[in-house]
Structure 1
Amino acid sequence: MKYSNIILKNFLFAILIGLCSQVFAQTTTNSIYSRYGIGEIRKPQFNTNFGIGGAGIALKSDRFANFANPASLTSLKMIAFEVAVKSDNYQAISGTQKSQGNNTYFNHLSLSMPIKDWWGLTFGITPLSTIGYDYSYSEYNQNKGRIDYSYIGSGGINKVFVANGFDIAEGLSFGFTTSFLFGGIEREKQIEFLDTTYAFNSSDKDRITVSDVSFDLGIQYEKALSEEYTFIGGVTYDVGNKLSGRRTQLIRSYRGSNLSISYLDTSKFVDAIKTNIKLPSTIGLGVSIEKKESWGFELNYLNAAWSSIEPEGQEEFVNSQTFIAAFRILPNENAYSDYFKRITYSFGASYSNSYIKLNNQELNEYGINFGISLPFKKSISSLTFGLEALRRGENSNGLVQEDFLNFNLGITINDRWFIKRKYD
């Protein structure tokens, strides 16, 4: 019995679960820096990309989806259904104060397939950005006494995508991705005057919902240097967009705090007015060298033009640059008698500066990644484990240092594409 129909049915069922979990309530980050802009930008970390730090602009695979460059889809030789769960463990340090936590959530799912020898396709769902923070601080005013400031935020933007890759000449492929972006961003700011009965407390609740379409492009060039070595170069370009949305804002004064709040007056109410969220154009470059059934090395560079976008708050947007170095130990897929020779090992190291600049300080992020892909016995499908260690910001200059230890558990189910049976 063929697995193709089973995979397709399972995918359609899983996509419904995935859509529900994305829309209704995943808490996927606890970063104070997600307060700004559209939140924490998610890397394109599918199962094959996670262990190499999100690299993949110059990566080809015959059985894994590569979200980093749609032009790579022409290398697909079989159906690939994949899904992953991610667990983020974090610690934030500010001065002598520390906070810790954990979020476990659905990361992505996709279904990829070769349509023709020269055409590959994938579609699925993944987060573009996430927002999750809850913090407060106090200050003393000589006239008003102690004042508490509280900030709460949640939500994010999700991406449902369809990507196509086409061979257009010998060794040259082109791809494009069409994405439907949707989601909601909720933010609330509260100011409470604790030492005076004459001042009213203030609550500012703001919600933006967006839904729009975006596009990105990719090119790859593959050249055999010898029977063993292959060179791949890749370029990607995200055209950026102005996402259409609706904004609702409610500013009210109140007395009391927590469960005993009594609202007194509404100073501003905006109901679902038209607004937009601007996304920058991004260019990515990648090169790789691969030795057949031995190893592969890749370098990626990305630049997102955030400086062209005006922020709403006191923060400053700057161009975000990312550098990634990746190394993979490749399997011998024909070594069925030796299981360990069929395992893929992945390593990655990355550096980037966030698009947010605070207190005249850029936010730097350093990361290292490890991944291992374990094939099922007597099968071409596999189970992927990934580990990621990140540090963002610093515990000085009025910033917060965030440390993350993230785990990824993914499964990729492969099947041959419409093989005709032969009978004697």
Structure 2
Amino acid sequence: MQVKKTLISLLAVAALLPSTAAAQSSSINAFSPYSMYGIGELNTPGTLPVRSMGGAGVAMRWPTSINLLNPASFSAMERKSFLFDMGAENQNYYNAQRRDGVTRKSAYNTFNFHEIAFQLPLGKGVGLGFGLTPFSSVGYRVKSTQIDGSYGWSDYTFQGEGDITEVKAGIGWEIFRGFSIGAAAQYYWGEIDRTYIMTPTNITDNDAITATTGTDLYGVSRFKAQFGVQWTPVFNAKRMFTVGATYDLGGDLRPDVSHKVLLGDPAGTAVRDESFRGALSLPHQAALGLYYRTPKVTLALDYVYQNWRSANEGTEYATVGGYSVAYANTSTVRFGVEYIPNYSDLRRVLNRWSYRAGFRYGDYNQTFNGRRIPQFAVTAGIGIPVRFLAASAVDIGIEYGQRGRGGNMAGNAGFVKQRYFKVALGFSIFASSSSGEFWFVRPKYD
């Protein structure tokens, strides 16, 4: 009964979060010039233990861990148990661009929550999972100058901010021993605000030239779906091996776009004010994963394919500087490892900790003048049990990544080389009578 009351409370909190997140949608949760187009920079999915292992977890299946990457894993829950997870993340961005023999640098720091998730059993071999996570973020301020012989030159300032949040709720079912399927509904919502300001320097007294401000407000509210499967051919006291796969349907987001262009005269005359449905789609995504676990070592390997270009065929952008921007299909490899020296060591606390590391490599989902942008990340983290033999833990994770090459390399002049560093803190709570963790049970005796 107490678990049910706690679940109702968590659902009430989750129901209030969309309004809270919407009120904070103007905050900058990323700072990257690569987020100027589309839905911005994609966040790494999954809870902190998964992200600390390079983001690999499509095949991860364990009764004391939440796996938001594959709904089939929800069926791994023990009877009369409950899992809750939440986390926050601090991000530091460092951007460098070399152009015309000059290197320009910028730095920015952001902080935001990353996930709120829970998981519980519905019956024998059936489990429910829920997750509220940031899906993508937009944050940038870019300046450019364009020379025009008819009047002089113009200074442009481009800036944008906003985010899209994903809510996922799914059910996993172990239809027979070692084989599970799952399905999840995904809801995406959020707002992205993009603005440009054109300030001319008129040296020819051309009265037709005036300052201009343009704004584009994108509103997203769409449902999508994901399907998953997991097969565990090996499961005994010494080792476990699982194969997993997922497929995301993707589909048209069709954001509501409010487009305005205002002149810089005292009246702020509007030369354009229109609303329409934007052309933007999420890709179909196929992922395949392997998961191997022993009492000490865990290995995870994922391959993820997304057809961004096929889903957004014909959707291209152009900047003032002349760069053409288009979507590109992506392939990403993720690998992670976890090591626990001795989970039941009574004397040495550090031997009971979980030590994690991983990496991720692929390409950015947009091209610039036809050039692909490589990106990679290296991750590490630790899990600290709250007490002896407890599954509940405090998790700490770090990630270092790089996007683009930039610098003086041939063909990279003018491209931005971005480095970032993330520090995350998470809390995992596991309640089960079998493990002796009674988080939501009222004591009978004081």
TM-score over 0.5 for the alignment?
yes
Report if the CA contact (8 A) 1:153-1:188 is conserved: yes
1:383 to 389, 394, 397: 394
Query: Superposed, which structure 2 residues align to 1:409-420 within 5 Å?
Result: 409-416=425-432
Matching residue of 1:15: 14
2:350 to 340, 365, 371: 340
Report if the CA contact (8 A) 1:39-1:130 is conserved: yes
Q: Which amino acid aligns with 1:412?
A: S
Q: Please give the alpha-carbon distance, in whole angstroms, between the structure 1 residues aligned to 2:85 and 2:199.
A: 48
Matching residue of 2:321: none
Matching residue of 2:55: 54
The offset of 1:286, in angstroms, is: 0.8
Per-residue CA deviation, residues 251-305 of structure 1 (Å, 9 max, x unaligned), is 12214xxxxxx3453221114x3445311100001112222x1101121110100
Q: SS at 2:34's partner residue?
A: helix
Report if the CA contact (8 A) 2:291-2:299 is conserved: yes
Matching residue of 1:269: 273
The offset of 1:214, in angstroms, is: 0.5
Q: Please give the alpha-carbon distance, in whole angstroms, between the structure 1 residues aligned to 2:50 and 2:316.
A: 33
2:260 matched to 1:235?
Answer: no
Q: Please give the alpha-carbon distance, in whole angstroms, between the structure 1 residues aligned to 2:53 and 2:192.
A: 30
Greater CA drift, 233-242 or 22-31: 22-31
Report if the CA contact (8 A) 1:54-1:68 is conserved: no
Greater CA drift, 317-326 or 408-417: 408-417
Matching residue of 1:160: 167
Q: Please give the alpha-carbon distance, in whole angstroms, between the structure 1 residues aligned to 2:342 and 2:127.
A: 24
Aligned pair count reads: 413
Q: What runs of 5+ residues in structure 2 fail to find an aligned partner?
A: 319-324, 407-411
Distance 1:164 1:336, change over 3 A: farther
Report if the CA contact (8 A) 1:48-1:65 is conserved: no
Distance 1:228 1:207, change over 3 A: same
Distance 1:336 1:71, change over 3 A: farther
Report if the CA contact (8 A) 2:308-2:329 is conserved: yes
Greater CA drift, 132-141 or 232-241: 132-141
Q: Which amino acid aligns with 1:218?
A: G
User: Under a length normalisation based on structure 1, what TM-score does the superposition of the two structures give?
Assistant: 0.91
Report if the CA contact (8 A) 1:246-1:276 is conserved: no
2:364 matched to 1:365?
Answer: no
Matching residue of 1:128: 135
The offset of 1:9, in angstroms, is: 6.0
2:366 matched to 1:356?
Answer: yes
The offset of 1:244, in angstroms, is: 4.0
Report if the CA contact (8 A) 2:232-2:242 is conserved: yes
Q: Please give the alpha-carbon distance, in whole angstroms, between the structure 2 residues aligned to 1:75 and 1:118.
A: 7
The offset of 1:39, in angstroms, is: 0.8
Q: SS at 2:10's partner residue?
A: helix
Q: SS at 1:4's partner residue?
A: helix
The offset of 1:121, in angstroms, is: 1.1
Distance 1:407 1:13, change over 3 A: farther
Q: SS at 1:313's partner residue?
A: strand
Distance 1:151 1:392, change over 3 A: same
The offset of 1:7, in angstroms, is: 4.4
Distance 1:361 1:397, change over 3 A: farther
Q: Please give the alpha-carbon distance, in whole angstroms, between the structure 2 residues aligned to 1:383 and 1:359.
A: 45
Q: Please give the alpha-carbon distance, in whole angstroms, between the structure 2 residues aligned to 1:316 and 1:307.
A: 7
Query: Superposed, which structure 2 residues align to 1:263-342 within 5 Å?
Result: 263-271=267-275, 273-275=276-278, 277-291=280-294, 293-308=295-310, 309-310=312-313, 311-314=315-318, 315-330=325-340, 332-336=342-346, 338-342=348-352
Q: SS at 2:365's partner residue?
A: strand
Aligned CA RMSD, in angstroms, stands at 2.4
Q: Please give the alpha-carbon distance, in whole angstroms, between the structure 2 residues aligned to 1:75 and 1:405.
A: 33
Matching residue of 2:222: 212
Matching residue of 1:258: none
Report if the CA contact (8 A) 1:294-1:331 is conserved: yes
Q: What runs of 5+ residues in structure 1 fail to find an aligned partner?
A: 256-261
Q: Which amino acid aligns with 2:115?
A: H
Report if the CA contact (8 A) 1:27-1:105 is conserved: no
Q: Which amino acid aligns with 1:140?
A: I
Matching residue of 1:72: 73
Q: SS at 1:340's partner residue?
A: helix
